[in-house]
Homo-oligomer: A and B are copies of this chain.
Amino acid sequence: MIPLHTMNAVSAERLHGLLATLATFGPGRNGGMNRQALSEEDFQARAWLIDQAQALGCKVWTDACANLFIRREGLLDLPPVMTGSHIDTQPTGGTLDGCYGVIAGLECLHALADANIQTRRPIEVVVWTNEEGSRFSPGAMGSSAYVDPQRVAQYRGNRDAEGTTVAQALDAHAQRFAHLPRREKIATHAFVELHIEQGPVLEQAQVPLGVVSGIQGVRWYQVVCKGASAHAGTTPAHMRRDAVLMAMASLARIDALANDLAGQDKRLTFGRWSVFPNAINTIASEVTFSIDFRHADPAVLEAFDAGLGHCLAPDAEFTRLFSHAPTVFDAALIAVLEDACNATGLPWQPIRSGAFHDAMYLAEHCPTAMLFVPSRDGISHNPLEFTEPAQLEAGARALAWSLASLAQQP
């Protein structure tokens, strides 16, 4: 009965109130958010979260990458159940991306306290540092450094647009929160991340809850097509080496490759373009464009890698900018999340995550899975980001059931 009692103790009013309070730290344009990782706004939000945690009788740790761990003790000293996400935002972000997972976790601690429940295992709500990667590269910095602490040393030299290093920002955090004890990576029973979908699938299906099967893998490439700059008026067609036309031909072949490999499952984007010299009356000498290709099947990603070179002109250059293998979440943990969704009495469906999340790295460390709630019009990274309040409540209830259930596991 502990999962059910915890779920039923979730307060929608408190959940929305906590979300609204978090949104006061770093308001952005048009009702959105601009709370950059390890900024003053982020520090103020963290200070408020720490106050909340301490009022709930929780202990708070930080670590070498400024992650925060808010721990509600269990009856036994066993590896904890973790939940959480991030509170940094895009420069023109919304109020839910990341924040919802952290606040719903905090609400679960409130629910446990209200219901006066002692779980077998500790439960921790984690705030992962710099998931968005918009201030410092790379994204998911905190979660990746947690899982592999050697990564911190690689990150510390990276700079934001104003020249501040990660090291300086982490040192400022350590100084600001010097009263917090520090902790290393610990054995973890399970990690559950609740997040908005950031895509249109649940909304279009009119299903309020998604149990995430995994995160598709990704390839990012940059392609440079090299032509010859020449006068648009004076150069006959047969003497041209127009880099725009080269790029178009390559793009059509890459699209056909992705169709062959992924069919209706194709997620292929040519989002970033640079044309030189970019003048109306000059034939382009160089066109650079990006490729973002994602798929859940590693074999498909590898076939894309193998086929890409054949899509390009012989003297085109292509560079792999980023790559991540597909993440398959833990089957037993997924089963718990399915039970939790069933316990809410609401419809749910399996869904694959198209976006990266901190859970992608946590899955390297412990059994991990995710819950999604719908995003209106699939919009995220935008002040228009929105999820119906009843759907936010449903997600928090499913999370509460999951955490309590996992925390009772032997």
Residues in A lying within 8 Å of B, measured CB to CB: 197-201, 204, 216, 218, 220, 229-239, 242, 244-245, 248, 251-252, 255, 264-273, 275, 278-284, 290, 292, 294, 321, 353-356, 378-382
Contact = CB atoms under 8 A, between A and B. Distances in A.
B280 A201 contact: no
A245 B259 CA distance: 14
B294 A269 contact: no
Contacts of A272: 275, 278-280
B267 A280 contact: no
A339 B233 CA distance: 27
B218 A244 contact: no
Nearest to A277: B271
Given A230-B378, A234-B378, A378-B231, A292 B271 contact: no
A197 B281 contact: no
A283 B264 contact: no
Contacts of A275: 271-273
Given A200-B230, A269-B280, A280-B321, 15 more contacts: A199-B230, A199-B235, A200-B234, A200-B235, A220-B280, A231-B355, A232-B354, A233-B353, A233-B354, A234-B353, A234-B378, A235-B354, A242-B269, A271-B278, A271-B282
A235 B267 contact: yes
Q: Which 4 A-B pairs have the closest CB atoms?
A: A199-B234, A233-B354, A234-B354, A232-B269
A91 to B, nearest CB: 11
A244 B216 contact: no
Contact of A232 (B201, B279, B294): B294
A198 B236 CA distance: 12
B251 A233 contact: no
- How many chain copies does the complex carry? 2
Given A230-B378, A233-B294, A378-B235, A271 B251 contact: no
A355 B234 CA distance: 6
A244 B270 contact: yes
Contacts of A216: 233
Contacts of A201: 234, 236
Nearest to A356: B233
B233 A355 contact: yes
Nearest to A273: B275
A29 to B, nearest CB: 15
A39 to B, nearest CB: 21
A236 B378 CA distance: 10
A264 B237 CA distance: 7
Contacts of A269: 232, 242, 280-283
Contacts of A280: 220, 269, 271-272, 290, 292, 321
A283 to B, nearest CB: 6
Contact of A271 (B266, B281, B321, B355): B281
13 contacts: A199-B230, A199-B233, A232-B354, A233-B267, A234-B353, A237-B267, A242-B269, A242-B270, A244-B270, A248-B251, A269-B283, A271-B281, A280-B290
A355 B230 CA distance: 11
Nearest to A278: B272
A281 B273 contact: no
Nearest to A252: B248
Contacts of A255: 245
Contacts of A251: 244, 248
Nearest to A290: B280
Which of A218, A238, A245 has the most chain B CB atoms inside 10 A of its CB?
A: A245
Given A231-B199, A231-B354, A264 B284 contact: no
